[in-house]
Structure 1
Amino acid sequence: TALYGDLDALRATPLNGHARDIVDPGKIFVYDNLILVGEEGHGIHVIDNTDPQNPSAVSFLSIPGNREFFISEGTLYAESMYDMLKIDISNIQQPVIESRIENAFLQTIYGTDGEAVIGFEYEEVTQELDLDDPIFSYDTDESIFYYDINNSLIPQSAVPASFAGNSSSGIGSVNRIVAYDGYVYAVSREKMNIFSTANGFEQVFSQSVGWNMETVFPMGDRLFVGASSSVDIYDISNRESPLLQSNYWHMTSCDPVLPIDESTAYVTLRTGDFSDCPGDENELLVIDISTNDWVQEVQEIVMDSPFGMTLIGDKLYVGEGDHGLKVFDASDRRDLKLLESIASVEAYDVIAHPNRSDILLIATPDGLVQYQLDINLDLFLISNIEF
């Protein structure tokens, strides 16, 4: 069922507010000494992590409809339902919306009473039907609304909400929005949107380019897009005009992709019956991306249920959900060797601290946990930001 509301009133929502409890956590982003935790569909919790032993809540940024965001050089880029926002957070105590591009992802859909569609309410119904039932060929206005919104706007992550997101001093492996070289790239399920930050903030590209896109990662003159059945590589030597160069096809799955350098990338494939990632492939892949028109798999490692990953020095950390945390020796980037499997830690995403190589942040069902690493790969609990 479509939900309707006053879009102008939502756009006028005051940005900065008091800190509040985290109820439905979404994306997690670590920036400098800040940890930002998304509240699905409502905004972003800001946490001061200057002292990792005592992280403290600072404020809550109210951004209606928000699910994805990215920070670069003191600027927060966030989607808000139909719109894209550019927010100055150089002074986190006084954030300011510098620019709003209305209807950046989709032209506003209105109901008969003039109010905008601002979401959907879901109810699961089981009903037995004959194969010739007309419902199989019947489209209602609301089903068309849902199709347009579902494929054009930024969706909820296939990673469970409590475990979504990844960033560090690098870009991370689970992002739908990324800022790079004066541009911001954002992908929904089928559309790629590009925004220029050179002269203010303007949209320069918006096209349907794929299907079931999940993540985006730039490197050099290439843009890597992880989709449910492929890794798509685009030439972005012209930053405003991406050209598809090659694809690496794989079984349908959820697939964060993490390019390590100009020639090598890591991909995790995760599936599970009755999930947002159906199938039976759970693997960590090393792929050769050294040429523009040909991508080749060079190593395949069977996993249990891989989610996010991060590289710290020569160690690759991969969250395996309720199967724990795996640590690989990546000194040879194309020949990963398992060093340790830590079953005591339920790890969905793993995030490198932006300033300290001895701290690892792990998203668990109960919160964001910070651990100190020692030379023996032992983890020592520092703090836990509870969800």
Structure 2
Amino acid sequence: MRKIISVLTILFLIGCSDSDSSGSGEIGQGGSLAVFAIKGNYLYSVDEMKLNVFSLIDKEKPVKVNEIPIGFNIETLFSYGENLYVGSRNGMFIYSIKNPENPTKLSAVQHFTACDPVIANNTHSFVTLNSNTFCGNNINVLQVYDTKDLKNPKLIHSRTLAHPKGIGFFNTDYLLVCDDVIKIFNIQNPAEPVLVHSIDKECFDVIIRNNTLFAIGNNGIYHYELNSNNIKDVKLLSEIHF
């Protein structure tokens, strides 16, 4: 577990060195299993039970300014626009950070006990539920929620997979899912994702920036180049083995 946390931290810091091209206000970019995110002058993190807010206005002396109880078994944190999406073993929570020091809960959806990464865009949220030694039920699915109304998420799609974990967007058309292989779905119609290609590598998370894909596995990090004009044209550029 320490190895996994170290890898994710390194890749998050790599993301911090670049400005975000999505216009979402991100400074850093972690994978879908990340537990912290930087937005403007604030860092947000989750532990098992709460959301923590740190002011980075004085970058030499970060200050914790708030903590918000959420519940139990909190696992992941994803930020998009002025909202935070929190994944837990029991559900997904959406918080507004229009007031950055005082996040406010907009909604929550409950599901069967399972590990739960979540990512989101302007209109939809994508969740993978997976079961392992720590996560409880034998549930392995990809779920899609309509979150145009952030106060009323609606489940619009559910698909059984092998053991899905990390997920990431490649531009607006594709969703990459770490499963028994890295599966690439066309999500132009989010209610009916279409499997269009796969990368023969078993990994637990992905970080995607422009045409660059970092796939993170238990035994290494794999660096790919993606082609937005031909999703089947995936080139392995380098790999680091542990």
TM-score by length of 1: 0.54
Query: What's the RMSD between the two structures over aligned residues?
Result: 2.7
Quick one: distance in 1 between partners of 2:85 and 2:70? Answer: 13
In the alignment, structure 1 residue 249 sits paired with structure 2 residue 106: no
In the alignment, structure 1 residue 193 sits paired with structure 2 residue 52: yes
* Structure 1: 5+ residue stretches without partners: 1-22, 31-35, 38-68, 76-166
Partner of residue 23, structure 2: none
Matched-pair contact (CA < 8 Å) for 2:168–2:207: yes
Partner of residue 24, structure 1: 3
Q: Aligned match of 1:337 in 161, 178, 194?
A: 194
Output the amino acid matched with 1:212: N
Count of residues paired in the alignment: 229
Higher mean alpha-carbon deviation, 191-200 vs 226-235, is at: 191-200
Instruction: Give the number of the structure whose alpha-carbon radius of gyration is greater.
Output: 1
Matches within 5 A, 1:168-187: 170-187=29-46
Residues 53-93 of structure 1: CA distance to partner in whole angstroms, max 9, x if unpaired? Answer: xxxxxxxxxxxxxxxx6577559xxxxxxxxxxxxxxxxxx
Quick one: distance in 2 between partners of 1:221 and 1:260? Answer: 11
Partner of residue 13, structure 1: none
Partner of residue 310, structure 1: 168
Instruction: Provide closer, same or farther for how the CA distance between residues 337 and 72 of structure 1 changes in structure 2, counting only shifts above 3 A.
Output: closer
Matched-pair contact (CA < 8 Å) for 1:347–1:362: yes
Higher mean alpha-carbon deviation, 178-187 vs 201-210, is at: 201-210
Partner of residue 9, structure 1: none
Matched-pair contact (CA < 8 Å) for 1:195–1:203: yes
Output the amino acid matched with 1:306: P
Quick one: distance in 1 between partners of 2:166 and 2:66? Answer: 29
Matched-pair contact (CA < 8 Å) for 2:203–2:216: yes
Quick one: distance in 1 between partners of 2:148 and 2:54? Answer: 28
Partner of residue 69, structure 2: 208
Instruction: Provide closer, same or farther for how the CA distance between residues 373 and 289 of structure 1 changes in structure 2, counting only shifts above 3 A.
Output: closer
Quick one: distance in 2 between partners of 1:384 and 1:288? Answer: 36
Residues 265-314 of structure 1: CA distance to partner in whole angstroms, max 9, x if unpaired? Answer: 11111113xx1112111111110112232111011111111111111122
* Structure 2: 5+ residue stretches without partners: 19-25
Matches within 5 A, 1:26-65: 26-29=5-8, 36=10
In the alignment, structure 1 residue 327 sits paired with structure 2 residue 184: yes
Report the secondary structure of 1:192's partner residue. Answer: strand
Matched-pair contact (CA < 8 Å) for 1:174–1:308: yes
Matched-pair contact (CA < 8 Å) for 1:361–1:368: yes
CA apart distance, 1:333: 3.6
In the alignment, structure 1 residue 268 sits paired with structure 2 residue 124: no
- Structure 1 runs (4+) deviating above 6 angstroms are none
TM-score by length of 2: 0.83
CA apart distance, 1:247: 0.7
Quick one: distance in 2 between partners of 1:294 and 1:196? Answer: 30
Report the secondary structure of 2:142's partner residue. Answer: strand
Matched-pair contact (CA < 8 Å) for 2:31–2:205: no
Matched-pair contact (CA < 8 Å) for 2:33–2:166: yes
Quick one: distance in 1 between partners of 2:27 and 2:126? Answer: 17
Instruction: Provide closer, same or farther for how the CA distance between residues 190 and 372 of structure 1 changes in structure 2, counting only shifts above 3 A.
Output: same
Partner of residue 346, structure 1: 202
Report the secondary structure of 1:277's partner residue. Answer: coil
Partner of residue 21, structure 2: none
Report the secondary structure of 1:24's partner residue. Answer: helix
Output the amino acid matched with 2:103: P
